[in-house]
Amino acid sequence: MDYQNLANQILEQVGGEKNVQNLTHCATRLRFNLKEDSKANRAELNHLQGVLGVTSGGGQFQVIIGNDVEKVYDILIETLGFSEGGSEEKSKKNIGTRLIDTISSIFTPILPVITASGMLKAVLALCTAFKWVDPTASTVYQVINFMADAAFYFLPVFLAISAAKKFKCNTYLAAMLGGILLHPNFVAMVTASRESGEGIKFGFLPIYNATYASTVIPIILTVWFMSYVEKYAKKYSPKVIAFFTIPLITVLVTGLVALVVLGPIGYIIGQYIANGVMFLDKTAGWLVPTVIGTFMPLLVMTGTHYGIVPIGANNIMTLGYDAMIGPGNLPSNIAQGGAALAVGVKTKKSEIKQLAFSSGVTAVCGITEPALFGINVRFKTPLYAAMAGGGVGGLFIGLMGVRRFASGSPGLLTLPVYIGDKGLTNFINACIACAIAFVVSFIVSYILFNENKVSESEQAFEKETLDFTKTKSVTTIMAPVSGKLVSLKNVPDEVFSEEMIGKGCAIIPIDPIFVSPVNGVVTALYETNHAIGLKSEEGVEVLIHIGIDTVKLEGQYFSAKIQIGDCVEVGTPLMSVELEKIEAAGYDIITPIVITNSSDYTEILPIETSMVKASQPVMKVVR
């Protein structure tokens, strides 16, 4: 796989560099924050080799790659020049979408940390269950245990780092605030306060006697507040001493507000969430795992599953276990794998069979996107089967009160995290739930999947793409001359820069020969030869205006190679121009290329390139 080429194609089809505000990735998908989602070409993206599918949700435009996502992501980040997350521009989204986007952006980068902790806990659970190590006496157990616990104990520091990238503030100052909440001296003060009953005070300000190890909400609120404090510190600090005053003000003000106000608020919110979970667990423990088991594929499709991930993490940190989010997700993932594998068994098409088997195995191990987008959503009936199997498995999970005691991507590889306070009973019930989910989804998928309907489905997909192409036809406009490609806004003439006669781009030419940017016909040639009008075969009307106010030259230094009515192709010479003499006469040679019938098209998309050669693409016109 040529990952560089794939990355370049993806970037082009999401609207180019200028349309990308932010980019993150999870286990299988690229997660773009685009300025305008409408500029992304879904049909073209879906047809790229290496792309499993495209979806939107949670304020993000998501391109599903599969297990190789990180290779494509690294290339894109380098191309985009992002180091701390992306553009500063704010997008106009509703509060719910922004909240999900924020949670996703903060939690996605630290998933490897949580997964590492969960896998270490799984190894320990297996070693303990089979009595390979003694938890009370073995130093091997103790070392691996504190290694696994480190991820959750220092979770506020990890969250501070990812939150700082999301909120666009200093990463290291944010990590320092996480360290403040976890400092051993502060923990000792809280312990002493609880034992003595005397409150902790900073002057007249009371400090809530809570510890923040393994918490989520307090540090996110703190870093969010810090982003504003740092901004104002930068704004009002004298430049001479800004290097010293900005970090001082940021840490001192934010640290105190965190200890006195934001930390306690976040801590109390976390406790309320935990109490609500306990209430649901006692009154209707079967309900949430059943709902999650059934509808998790739909949440994953839209990316909104990240909105509930913190609840599961918070449950483990506050209660010591999670009986809802992770346990409900487990049978859902297994069911998706079962549904995809059933397609692999039944289909006779080698390409589908290969994808179904590989993505099915990946799904039962905990990563579902390849199966979800590559097979289940594509053929629909496997998706229904996966939802049925996940729902039945989730119901069993809820009725049996299955709990997990560490985080990790729900699947067969992390089943040992279900070994806990009930010995192997909890683990066995989790395994039974997986078996139920797999068998139900496999059988339903095998029965409903019809090889003939696969062809119909694929034909329907092709028809949708064809319809899209018809309704969203794209005409590529080539460069009429070699030079530097710039925005139309750079043209020192309001008629062009304000797009009064149409949208487009401009080139500062370095070559005397101007050529046709389209296949079509010459519709206009001004007497002074300074401007040429063309109409492409698709009906796009293009105006090439060579220089600004060059009409005053009355044709001097211009030599036309065509006449009105001539048929031209891309690269056909149109005009020879003495650029140096025009500049010497005091005229700007910047050349606007304008689509004069822009109103007939939905989008005019200039291609973001600094230098171009004649007949190289510079613009896409979308009907």
First to last CA, the chain: 32
Q: Domain containing 557: what range? A: 475-622
> pLDDT, tens digit, for every residue of 277-336?
778 777 887 888 999 999 988 887 766 666 677 777 767 766 778 888 889 999 999 999
Q: What is the pLDDT of residue 461?
A: 46
Token pair, residue 11, equals 């970037």
Residue 92 has pLDDT above 60, yes or no: no
| DSSP conformation class of 407 | -
545 among known catalytic residues: yes
305 with 245, same domain: the answer is no
Tens of pLDDT along 332-349?
999 999 999 999 999 888
pLDDT exceeds cutoff 60 at 464: no
Domain end residue (candidates: 443, 468, 493): 468
pLDDT at residue 199, as a whole number: 87
Position 304 scores a pLDDT of 62
Query: Encoding tokens for residue 566?
Result: 């001539």
416 & 524 share domain:
no
Average pLDDT (382-390) is: 94
Rounded to an integer, what distance in angstroms lies between the CA atom of residue 76 and that of residue 23? 9
> Taking the C-alpha atoms of 149, 150, 153 and 154 in order, what is their torsion angle to the nearest 10 degrees?
-160
Active site annotation includes 127: no
- What percent of the chain clears pLDDT 90, i.e. is strictly above it? 36
CA of residue 454 relative to chain centroid, distance: 30
Mean of all residue pLDDT scores within the chain = 84
Give residue 67's Cα distance to chain centre: 15
pLDDT of residue 88: 42
182 and 61 in a common domain: no
pLDDT of residue 100: 65
When computed from its CA atoms, the radius of gyration of the chain, rounded to whole angstroms, is 30
- Are both 432 and 323 inside the same structural domain? yes
Final residue of a structural domain among 424, 443, 468: 468
Q: Are 448 and 381 in contact (CB under 8 A)?
A: yes
Is 264 among the domain residues?
A: yes
Domain co-membership, 479 together with 463: no
Q: Which listed residue (26, 127, 169, 434) is catalytic?
A: 26
Q: Residue written as tokens 């667990």?
A: 281
* Same structural domain, 167 and 197: yes
74, 11 Cβ separation under 8 angstroms: no
Backbone angles phi, psi at 606, to 5 degrees: -65, 140
Sheet with 558-560: list strands edge to edge.
513-515, 573-577, 558-560
- In the DSSP assignment, the letter for residue 374 is I
Report the predicted TM-score, pTM, of the whole model to 2 decimal places. 0.54
Q: What is the pLDDT of residue 554?
A: 86
Q: Which pLDDT band, with edges at 50, 70 and 90, does 216 fall under?
A: confident
The reported pLDDT for the residue numbered 602 is 74
Distance CA 375, CA 337 (A): 10
Check the CA dihedral 453-457-463-466 and report its sign. Answer: negative
Question: What whole-number distance in Å separates Cα of residue 312 and Cα of residue 404?
Answer: 10
| Cβ–Cβ < 8 Å for 520, 532 | no
Q: What is the CATH number of the domain that holds 27?
A: 3.30.1360.60
Please write the tens of the pLDDT for every residue from 171-190: 999 999 999 999 999 999 99
Residue 546 domain flag: yes
- Tell which phi-psi region holds residue 547, choosing left (phi > 0), alpha (psi between -120 and 50) or beta: left
The answer to the question of residue 113 being in a domain is no
Most confident of 56-70, 180-194, 370-384, 606-620: 180-194
The answer to whether residue 70 sits within a structural domain is yes
Write out the two tokens for 49.
Answer: 């080799």
Domain assignment present for 351: yes
Both 437 and 510 in a single domain? Answer: no
Q: Does residue 454 carry a pLDDT above 60?
A: no
451, 494: one domain: no
What is the number of domains present in the chain? 4
**DSSP letters spanning 463-478:** HHHHHHHHHT-EEEEE
Q: Using one digit for the tens of pLDDT, what is the confidence trace for 272-288? A: 877 777 787 778 878 88
CA-CA distance, 315 to 271, in Å (whole number)? 9
Residue 25 has pLDDT above 90, yes or no: no
Please give the Cα distance from 534 to 240 (Å, whole number).
58
Angle at 295 between CA 293 and CA 297, to 5 degrees: 95
Burial of 262 (0-12, 13-18, 19+ CB in 10 A): buried
83 and 175, same domain (yes or no) = no
In a domain, 486, yes or no: yes
pLDDT at 26: 67
Are 169 and 117 spatial neighbours (Cβ–Cβ below 8 Å)?
A: no
pLDDT of residue 452 exceeding 80, the answer is no
Co-location of 436 and 311 in the same domain? yes
Average pLDDT rounded to a whole number, residues 112-132: 81
Q: How far apart are CA 622 and CA 611, in angstroms?
A: 23
pLDDT at 466 over 60: no
**Residue that finishes a domain, picked among 468, 491, 508:** 468
Task: State the CB neighbour count (10 A cutoff) for residue 43.
Answer: 17
- Of 609 and 195, the one with more pLDDT: 195
**SS3 for 518?**
coil
Q: Is the pLDDT score of 228 beyond 90?
A: yes
pLDDT digits (tens, 9 = 90+) for 195-208: 888 889 898 899 98
| Four-point Cα dihedral 148, 153, 159, 162, nearest 10 | -40
- Contacts of residues 522-529 at CB distance under 8 Å and 24 or more positions apart, as own/partner, are 522/562, 522/563, 522/564, 522/565, 522/566, 522/568, 522/574, 523/564, 524/564, 525/560, 525/562, 525/563, 525/564, 526/551, 527/555, 528/553, 528/554, 528/555, 528/558, 529/555, 529/558, 529/559, 529/560, 529/575
Q: How many Cα neighbours within 13 Å face the side chain of 421?
A: 11
Contact, 45 vs 7, CB < 8 A? Answer: no
- pLDDT computed for residue 259 by the predictor: 94
Q: Are residues 268 and 194 in the same domain?
A: yes
Q: Is 236 helix (H, G, I), strand (E, B) or coil?
A: helix
Confidence at 375, pLDDT banded by 50, 70, 90: confident
Where would I find the beta strands (DSSP E) of 58-156? Answer: 60-64
423 and 483 co-located in one domain: no
Residue 446 in any domain: the answer is: yes
Catalytic option among 25, 305, 530, 545: 545
